[in-house]
Each structure stands twice: as structure tokens, then as C-alpha cells.
Chain A
């Protein structure tokens, strides 16, 4: 979202403008949901946390700074809600490695070859992400998928930027290794 538009939307939201809320909602909802569903790997939970995140934005909008950055703010709330949920349930999500069976099927639009190649790459990335520890996964989602800068992601995760860069580098290496391993398995089976 363009920075000038974002600042104007924040000011209007603080004034209680429903149209501003709807514009922000349309811009960030799919990104937030994608982040939450890949973090939690549960669609029902992701939807609950998504709703709570948006209600937090509305109820706290009057206290937002005029120059608040909505993306990092929303991802911070969503992430903290998920970690609160984990603490309250004492669930170790890293052990539930199965992807949600209700995950939507790939959409068409390209040539069959392109679609197949993209679907295969996507499947491998999703599977590799699901195998990673939660702390690595959240960094890759925030920076690699959602496009936050390392400093924004550091603010979201509550760690120094230097620490985040080091963790991000390790997380990327783990993801690459997991994807390589995933590709090696079918080859081994074929051989």
C-alpha cells in the first residue's frame, strides 16, 4: 500500500470512518489470513485469530499514531494472538506436521506445464515450511512471503534487527535443505 494513502487511511480510521476500515480490511485481510493459516496450519483457528486481529484494530484505532505502519501493526497483533493462543492451550504446533486437508487446490490460468510446475514448487515450499520450527517459519512468512523489511519483522517479533537477520539466514538455509530433501525423496523412490 502506498505510504501516503496509508497515512490518510490511518487518520480517517482514527476519526471512525468505516470506509477507511473497509479499505484497510480489503488490502490486508488476505495477507493476514495467509500468514495466520501458514503459521498455525489450521483454517478454523486462523479465521478466529483474523477476526480478533481486526477487532483489535477497530477498538484501538483511536490510539494509533498518525504515522503508524498498518502492516507491521497488524502482523504484530496477529502473531501475538497466535502465540497467546499457543500458550493458553500449551500446544506444540511443530509436531502437527500435516497440512490442513481443507487447503484449497491450485488454481488454473496458465498453460498446463506452467501450472504443474508452479503447483509442484508451491507444494514443496508449503511442505518444507510446515516442517520448520515455528520461529523459523514466522520469519520466512513475514519477510519472504509478506515482504516486510528485516527491521519491520524484527519489530513484529520483538527482537533486535541483527538477531533477526541471523535467524532469518538460518531459517532460509533450513527451508532450502528441506526443499532439497523433498525433491530427493521422489528421485530415490524412482531410482
Chain B
């Protein structure tokens, strides 16, 4: 039965297999797409008022709560005025 030992023809053959590469056009296309995606991600991350800006995480709920409270106060005031 064949045995796998260092220096075997099989070992030598596997490690000596030539390196292949994709076509130059495809190599460049992948590189360009990768770089463009990274640049877009970086740009989105640097936007001052972007979707991921940290202040939005607390300002939006605070505004919603404040407006809700004002609306409720106005409704209660109107109801009390009618009652009187």
C-alpha cells in the first residue's frame, strides 16, 4: 500500500504544482471593485450627519417623546376647557 512520507513523489508533486492566476482583466476588475467598495464604506463612515451618526441614536427618540408630551398636554388642556 502506498505510504505518505516526506520526500515522496506525491508530496513533491503537490508542493511543486504551479501557481495559476485569473485573467488579467478579471484580476483588475476584482481589485477595482474591492477598492471602490472600501472607499464607499469609508466615505459613508465619515459623513457628519450620516445614518450612523451617534447623536441620532438619542436625539430622534427625545424629539419624538417631547412632541408627544406637547400634544398630550394640549389635548388635556382642551378637554379641561370644555369641561369647565
- Chain B hits for A93, CB < 8 A: none
Q: Closest residue to A50 on the B side, CB-wise?
A: B22
Tell me what chain B mostly uses at the interface: helix, strand, loop, or mixed.
helix
Chain A binder among B26-34, B56-64, B69-77: B26-34
What number of A residues sit within 8 Å (CB to CB) of B?
46
- Chain B hits for A51, CB < 8 A: 26, 29-30, 33
- Chain B hits for A61, CB < 8 A: 38
CA distance A51 to B34 in the complex (A): 9
Contact residues on B (Cβ < 8 Å of other chain), bracket = 20 to 34
CB within 8 Å of A: which B5-42 residues: 8-23, 26-27, 29-31, 33-35, 37-39, 41-42
Q: Are A124 and B13 in contact (CB under 8 A)?
A: yes
Q: Min CB distance, A106 to chain B, in Å?
A: 7
A118 at the interface (CB under 8 A from B): yes
A62 at the interface (CB under 8 A from B): yes
CA distance A169 to B3 in the complex (A): 9
- Chain B hits for A57, CB < 8 A: 34
- Chain A contact residues, CB within 8 Å of chain B: 13, 16-18, 21-22, 25, 29-31, 33-34, 37-38, 43, 46-47, 50-51, 54-55, 57-59, 61-62, 104, 106-107, 118, 121-122, 124-126, 140, 144-145, 169, 172-173, 175-177, 179-180
Please list the 6 inter-chain residue pairs (A to B) with the smallest Cβ-Cβ separation, ordered nearest first.
A176-B2, A144-B14, A125-B13, A16-B42, A172-B4, A18-B35
